Structure 1
Amino acid sequence: MRANNGDALIAAAVAGLGVLYEPEFIVADAIRQGALEQITLEVRTADLGGIHLVRAPDRAPPAKVRVMTDFLLAAFNPRPPWAIQ
Protein backbone atom coordinates (compact mmCIF):
# COMPACT_ATOMS: atom_id res chain seq x y z
CA MET A 1 0.00 0.00 0.00
CA ARG A 2 1.21 3.49 -0.76
CA ALA A 3 -0.35 6.69 0.58
CA ASN A 4 0.65 10.27 1.19
CA ASN A 5 -1.22 10.39 4.49
CA GLY A 6 0.39 9.16 7.70
CA ASP A 7 -2.95 8.61 9.42
CA ALA A 8 -4.13 6.31 6.61
CA LEU A 9 -0.90 4.32 6.81
CA ILE A 10 -1.18 4.02 10.60
CA ALA A 11 -4.77 2.78 10.26
CA ALA A 12 -3.65 0.15 7.74
CA ALA A 13 -0.81 -1.03 9.98
CA VAL A 14 -3.07 -1.17 13.05
CA ALA A 15 -5.52 -3.25 10.98
CA GLY A 16 -2.71 -5.74 10.40
CA LEU A 17 -2.08 -4.96 6.74
CA GLY A 18 1.71 -4.83 7.04
CA VAL A 19 4.76 -3.09 8.39
CA LEU A 20 4.78 0.70 8.52
CA TYR A 21 7.91 2.77 7.85
CA GLU A 22 7.23 6.33 8.98
CA PRO A 23 8.99 9.10 10.94
CA GLU A 24 8.76 8.75 14.70
CA PHE A 25 6.61 11.85 15.17
CA ILE A 26 3.86 10.28 13.04
CA VAL A 27 3.72 6.92 14.86
CA ALA A 28 4.73 7.92 18.42
CA ASP A 29 1.18 8.11 19.80
CA ALA A 30 0.16 4.76 18.29
CA ILE A 31 3.27 3.13 19.76
CA ARG A 32 2.66 4.66 23.19
CA GLN A 33 -0.97 3.45 23.10
CA GLY A 34 0.14 -0.07 22.19
CA ALA A 35 -1.63 -0.04 18.82
CA LEU A 36 1.71 -0.43 17.01
CA GLU A 37 4.96 -2.08 18.01
CA GLN A 38 8.35 -0.63 17.16
CA ILE A 39 10.74 -3.03 15.44
CA THR A 40 14.45 -2.82 14.74
CA LEU A 41 15.71 -3.06 11.17
CA GLU A 42 18.93 -4.77 10.22
CA VAL A 43 19.88 -1.78 8.08
CA ARG A 44 20.07 1.70 9.60
CA THR A 45 17.62 4.28 8.33
CA ALA A 46 18.67 7.65 6.97
CA ASP A 47 19.36 10.31 9.58
CA LEU A 48 17.79 13.48 8.24
CA GLY A 49 19.57 15.61 10.80
CA GLY A 50 16.65 17.09 12.70
CA ILE A 51 14.90 20.42 12.41
CA HIS A 52 16.82 23.43 11.14
CA LEU A 53 16.09 27.12 11.34
CA VAL A 54 17.68 29.16 8.56
CA ARG A 55 17.89 32.94 8.51
CA ALA A 56 20.16 35.63 7.17
CA PRO A 57 23.29 35.87 9.38
CA ASP A 58 24.21 39.45 8.51
CA ARG A 59 21.45 41.27 10.37
CA ALA A 60 19.37 41.05 13.52
CA PRO A 61 16.12 39.17 12.91
CA PRO A 62 12.75 40.89 13.38
CA ALA A 63 11.02 40.36 16.72
CA LYS A 64 8.58 37.79 15.30
CA VAL A 65 11.50 35.68 14.03
CA ARG A 66 13.23 35.85 17.42
CA VAL A 67 9.99 34.82 19.16
CA MET A 68 9.54 31.88 16.78
CA THR A 69 13.18 30.85 17.24
CA ASP A 70 12.78 30.90 21.03
CA PHE A 71 9.56 28.86 20.76
CA LEU A 72 11.18 26.21 18.54
CA LEU A 73 14.21 25.90 20.81
CA ALA A 74 12.00 25.47 23.88
CA ALA A 75 9.68 22.98 22.15
CA PHE A 76 12.27 20.71 20.53
CA ASN A 77 15.42 20.92 22.70
CA PRO A 78 16.86 18.70 23.96
CA ARG A 79 14.23 16.16 22.80
CA PRO A 80 11.20 16.68 20.59
CA PRO A 81 7.86 16.03 22.34
CA TRP A 82 7.11 12.96 20.20
CA ALA A 83 10.34 11.14 21.06
CA ILE A 84 9.60 7.57 22.14
CA GLN A 85 12.85 6.60 23.82
Structure 2
Amino acid sequence: MELFPPPAGRHLCVQADPDDFFPERVTAASTAYAKALCVRCPSQPECLQQALARREEYGVWGGLDEKERRSLRRKTRAAGTT
Protein backbone atom coordinates (compact mmCIF):
# COMPACT_ATOMS: atom_id res chain seq x y z
CA MET A 1 0.00 0.00 0.00
CA GLU A 2 1.39 3.37 -1.00
CA LEU A 3 1.24 6.22 1.44
CA PHE A 4 0.17 8.65 -1.27
CA PRO A 5 -0.93 7.30 -4.66
CA PRO A 6 1.04 8.94 -7.48
CA PRO A 7 -0.83 11.06 -10.01
CA ALA A 8 -1.02 8.78 -13.05
CA GLY A 9 1.08 9.78 -16.04
CA ARG A 10 2.56 12.90 -14.49
CA HIS A 11 6.03 11.65 -13.52
CA LEU A 12 8.86 12.59 -15.89
CA CYS A 13 11.19 10.11 -14.18
CA VAL A 14 9.37 7.12 -15.69
CA GLN A 15 10.91 8.11 -19.02
CA ALA A 16 14.46 8.12 -17.62
CA ASP A 17 17.02 5.48 -16.74
CA PRO A 18 16.64 4.50 -13.05
CA ASP A 19 20.44 4.63 -12.72
CA ASP A 20 20.19 8.40 -13.15
CA PHE A 21 18.10 8.57 -9.98
CA PHE A 22 20.08 5.98 -8.00
CA PRO A 23 23.79 6.59 -8.71
CA GLU A 24 26.42 4.48 -6.94
CA ARG A 25 28.13 7.63 -5.62
CA VAL A 26 26.13 10.76 -4.91
CA THR A 27 27.87 13.77 -6.39
CA ALA A 28 26.65 16.94 -8.03
CA ALA A 29 27.56 15.48 -11.42
CA SER A 30 25.95 12.08 -10.82
CA THR A 31 22.61 13.56 -9.78
CA ALA A 32 22.45 16.57 -12.13
CA TYR A 33 20.33 14.95 -14.84
CA ALA A 34 17.78 13.54 -12.39
CA LYS A 35 17.48 16.86 -10.58
CA ALA A 36 17.06 18.70 -13.90
CA LEU A 37 14.14 16.39 -14.73
CA CYS A 38 12.61 16.95 -11.31
CA VAL A 39 12.69 20.72 -11.73
CA ARG A 40 10.47 20.41 -14.81
CA CYS A 41 8.20 17.68 -13.41
CA PRO A 42 4.64 18.60 -12.41
CA SER A 43 4.79 15.92 -9.68
CA GLN A 44 7.90 17.34 -7.99
CA PRO A 45 6.20 18.75 -4.86
CA GLU A 46 4.19 15.57 -4.23
CA CYS A 47 7.21 13.38 -4.93
CA LEU A 48 9.36 15.23 -2.42
CA GLN A 49 6.58 15.15 0.17
CA GLN A 50 6.18 11.39 -0.28
CA ALA A 51 9.93 10.78 -0.05
CA LEU A 52 10.12 12.77 3.18
CA ALA A 53 7.09 10.98 4.64
CA ARG A 54 8.53 7.56 3.75
CA ARG A 55 12.02 8.61 4.83
CA GLU A 56 13.50 7.44 1.51
CA GLU A 57 17.16 6.75 2.18
CA TYR A 58 18.51 6.48 -1.36
CA GLY A 59 18.17 8.18 -4.70
CA VAL A 60 16.89 11.46 -6.06
CA TRP A 61 13.26 12.09 -5.10
CA GLY A 62 11.47 15.36 -5.69
CA GLY A 63 14.68 17.03 -6.81
CA LEU A 64 16.70 16.27 -3.67
CA ASP A 65 19.28 13.55 -3.10
CA GLU A 66 19.54 11.63 0.15
CA LYS A 67 21.99 14.08 1.74
CA GLU A 68 19.77 17.04 0.91
CA ARG A 69 16.67 15.31 2.29
CA ARG A 70 18.47 14.47 5.54
CA SER A 71 19.57 18.10 5.83
CA LEU A 72 16.02 19.31 5.16
CA ARG A 73 14.63 16.97 7.86
CA ARG A 74 17.24 18.23 10.35
CA LYS A 75 16.39 21.87 9.58
CA THR A 76 12.68 21.14 9.86
CA ARG A 77 13.15 19.46 13.24
CA ALA A 78 15.38 22.30 14.47
CA ALA A 79 12.68 24.80 13.45
CA GLY A 80 10.12 22.80 15.40
CA THR A 81 8.08 21.91 12.31
CA THR A 82 7.01 18.38 11.53
TM-score by length of 2: 0.25
Normalising by structure 1, we get a TM-score of 0.24
